[in-house]
Amino acid sequence: MDMNTIEEVVATADPAAWRPGDAWLAGGTVLFSYGSSTLRRLLDITEAGWEPVTITADGLELAATCKVAELYALPDRGDLPTRWTALELVRLCCDSFVASFKIWNASTVGGNICTALPAGPMTSLCAALDGVATVLEPGGASRQLPVAELVVGDARTSLAPGELLRSIHLPAAALESRVAFRRLSLSNLGRSGVLLIGRLAHDGGLVITVTASTRRPVQLRFAAAAVPGPGAAGPGAVVPGAPGLDAAALRSALDKAIPAELYHNDIHGLPQWRRDMTYRLAEEIRAELLGTPNQTASERA
């Protein structure tokens, strides 16, 4: 819709240019969808010319302005290391958008993360792959933090006013893991009510990332080697015993990691359903990754 209070669109990606009443404009598919009656300027970061995807030995660098359509095309590239098996998540996550492929021609990876909806599939993807965000600060400095900690609640991020998400680094170690993907929605191809991604590392460590059903991403980490003590669960918390992780231990870990009030409650799913589905899908992931090694995520999606 028209943003009728906007007086100027400024091409800049410099946080120093930001002032109250400004909003960073990437694809614009969220800003122009919800509209605003208070914003005065849009700071257009898409003309900064950031390389959408950079491949290095360390992993993948996704610019905040990488369009979803560009990300979707990524697996077709010929220069990707074949051992990055987790890249099969890319299309599964893109297809988890309630928005159609046409929106992907404009909307961006960074925009989806910064919108911080529980069902944001780029948050699911980047959090599940231990993505690390680089954030530009108004003073010229930058800081880094896990994507799983950038999104802190429904439509809430840990970004300060004027801070700008520059890129997300997906580490090679995560990209090399075997993954399992599960999603449920109240309608066919609708907005995710529950989206879980499991990742089994070469060393046997298992990470299950819960999104959509919870207000913010929740990660359960089960180390390869048994680590004594149950530990406080939360983003990055370590729970013992991936190789021997049984259903009961998984349930217990979920109990600890996700208090009832952390389950999201909106029109896209009742919290009790989201909770039960989280347990159900987590168990399916556990069984798939620790039980039957030959099945891929896409076959089950």
**Minimum distance from CB of 175 to other proteins (Å)?**
21
Among 190, 243, 244, 293, binds other proteins (CB under 8 A): 190
54: left (phi over 0), alpha (psi -120 to 50) or beta: beta
Q: Does 7 bind other proteins (CB under 8 A)?
A: yes
118: which 2 tokens? 């529980």
- For residues 46 and 63, what is the distance between their CA atoms, to the nearest angstrom? 10
CB 67 within 8 Å of CB 94: no
Q: Does 280 bind other proteins (CB under 8 A)?
A: yes
Residues 25-84 that bind other proteins (CB under 8 A): 25, 28-29, 32-34, 37, 42, 44, 46
- For residues 232 and 237, what is the distance between their CA atoms, to the nearest angstrom? 6
- The candidate with the shortest Cα–Cα distance to 193, out of 214, 179, 220, is 214
Task: Tell me the C-alpha to C-alpha distance, in Å, between residue 15 and each of 19, 22, 23, 45, 110.
Answer: 9, 11, 11, 10, 15
204: left (phi over 0), alpha (psi -120 to 50) or beta: left
Nearer residue to other proteins within complex by CB, 106 or 172? 106
* One-letter amino acid of 178: R
Q: Does 3 bind other proteins (CB under 8 A)?
A: yes
Q: Does 2 bind other proteins (CB under 8 A)?
A: yes
Among 95, 203, 246, 255, binds other proteins (CB under 8 A): 95
Binding residue count for other proteins, defined by CB under 8 A: 54
**Minimum distance from CB of 83 to other proteins (Å)?**
24
Residues 195-234: x where in contact with other proteins by CB under 8 A, - otherwise, as a string:
----------------------------------------
DSSP letter for each residue of 208-243: EEEESSBSS-EEEEE-SS--SS----STT-EES-ST
Q: Does 5 bind other proteins (CB under 8 A)?
A: yes
**Minimum distance from CB of 213 to other proteins (Å)?**
11
Residues 97-156 that bind other proteins (CB under 8 A): 98-103, 105-106
CA 87 to chain centre: 14
Q: Which span sits near other proteins by CB under 8 A: 153-161, 219-227, 249-257, 268-276?
A: 268-276
Cross-strand partners of 36: none
CA 104 to chain centre: 16
Nearer residue to other proteins within complex by CB, 260 or 267? 267
Q: Which span sits near other proteins by CB under 8 A: 78-86, 166-174, 222-230, 280-288?
A: 280-288
Binding site for other proteins (CB under 8 A): 1-9, 25, 28-29, 32-34, 37, 42, 44, 46, 95, 98-103, 105-106, 181-191, 193, 266-267, 269-270, 272-274, 276-277, 280-281, 284, 300-301
